[in-house]
Amino acid sequence: MVGSRLKTARRASGLSLRDLAEKVGVSAMALSKYERDEMTPSSAVIVRLTVALQRRLDYFLRPAQVVISEPTYRRRATMSKKDEAAVRAQVEEWVDRYLALEYLVGDSPEFSLEGVDGAIATVDDAERVAEELREAWNLGFDPIENLADVLELRGVRVGCIDGSPKFDALTFLINDNVPVIVVKRGVAGDRERFSMAHELGHLALHPDRNVDAEVAATRFAEAFLAPRAMVLLELGPPRQTLSLPELQALKCKYGLSMRAWIYRASHVGIIDARTTRRLHVLFSKRGWNKAEPGFQVAFDEPRRLRSLALRAVAEAIVSTERAEELCGEALPDLDNVDDCLVGAVC
């Protein structure tokens, strides 16, 4: 039905009924009726809606959208109801396209936490769960080169949206068994990776009532990205301090921010509470809380959605135009070798 798609696209664009009505040239009352499927917009109105909402015509003609569970958000501050509605609408629109491509290609990997006991009675127990999940997924203890790839290969649908300035990431389930993690597009790679690991913590952990779920997910994230055994190997026995070059090198190697490494060293027992406070004060005085110096970690771009689109075109399941509409980006000409090799990295 047109109504649910129209409402989602409007909210994703951050427009009120009145705002969109002015752009399209109809009354806000008529738009409200369109969204409730009490009236059907004419072909001319639908065309104007596609222009105003920057959607292709196919968007309004696809089957009804999926329904997602209530998301768990990771954010720097409380979002307004308008921003939260916009974020959710962007996510619903992205999930809708993602699942449509999965259905067309016939590829829907299952997510499994087999071998992992997510029940925790303390925040420290999150360390154990992180180690169990690494073992269950055969990741060993080495740094994870691309966390988005790891998650997607194991059945987590990963995406990125513009969101709002206060949005970092969210997680939810589709039909109670398909996990989804969505992160903010364009942020620093170390922040993105930590957000993904944090949301993975929400999927893996089942904290007792007396355990703060956010704190536990944060501990899980740092332990998943930098396992205790590797922290001890990298930093050695208890220390009096940590140097800036050390922290920069570790950030480069593990894709974990320098500030997160300070917390990690503290939680593992490498540095004491006094040293931890002193290092955080130093970072605050130098403005490194907002932007750390030196090496910047690359953004882990989710790649599975694009891969599904390319497969759909290669197998002649859909046209290139249709695949691009579902993928949300332009695809290379598969008959042009030079075009296909642009940006390829071996």
Q: What is the CATH number of the domain that holds 43?
A: 1.10.260.40
> Are 94 and 327 within 8 A, CB to CB?
no
| Residue-level length of the chain | 346
Most confident of 17-21, 42-46, 330-334: 17-21
Looking at the structure, tell me whether residues 194 and 128 fall in a common domain: yes
Q: Kindly state whether residues 111 and 140 are assigned to the same domain.
A: yes
Q: Containing domain of residue 215, as a range?
A: 66-225+298-328
My answer on whether 302 and 212 are in the same domain is yes
Are 85 and 207 members of one domain?
yes
Q: Does 343 reside within a domain?
A: no
Residues 143 and 275 grouped into a single domain: no
Nearest alpha carbon to residue 174 among 74, 98, 84: 98
pLDDT in tens, 276-286: 999 999 999 99
Whether residues 83 and 129 fall in one domain: yes
Q: How confident is the model at residue 346 (pLDDT cuts 50, 70, 90)?
A: very low
- Check residue 141 and give its pLDDT: 95
DSSP 8-state class, residue 136:
H
Distance CA 194, CA 5 (A): 32
Q: What's the pLDDT band for 197 if we cut at 50, 70, 90?
A: very high
Could you tell me where the DSSP H helices lie in 113-257? 125-136, 147-153, 189-204, 213-225, 228-235, 244-254
Token couple for 152: 């997607």
Instruction: Classify strands 167-174 and 206-207 as parallel, antiparallel or unpaired.
Output: unpaired
Q: How confident is the model at residue 265 (pLDDT cuts 50, 70, 90)?
A: very high
Domain boundary among 277, 297, 317: 297
Task: Judge contact between 111 and 177, C-beta under 8 A.
Answer: yes
Residue 284 and residue 300: Cα distance in Å, rounded?
27
State the average pLDDT for the chain.
89
In a domain? residue 76: yes
Residue 22, pLDDT above cutoff 50: yes
Mapped onto helix, strand or coil, the DSSP state of residue 153 is helix
- What single-letter DSSP state applies at residue 63? P
Domain match, 220 and 256 both: no
186 and 320 housed in the same domain = yes
- Residue pointed to by tokens 């509470």: 273
Number of C-beta neighbours around residue 272 at 10 A: 14
Most confident range (mean pLDDT) of 1-10, 66-75, 309-318 is 309-318
Alpha-carbon span 60 to 147, nearest angstrom: 34
Where residue 238 falls among pLDDT bands split at 50, 70, 90?
very high
Instruction: Let me know if residue 333 belongs to a domain.
Output: no
Query: Looking at the 3D structure of the chain, how many domains does it have?
Result: 3
- Say if 310 falls within a structural domain: yes
| One domain for residues 252 and 307 | no
In this structure, is residue 342 part of a structural domain? no
Does a structural domain hold residue 265?
Answer: yes
37 with 91, same domain: the answer is no
Average pLDDT value for residue range 319-338: 82
Is 186 found in the same domain as 105?
Answer: yes
**88 and 24 part of one domain:** no
Average pLDDT estimate for 213-239: 96
pLDDT at 341: 47
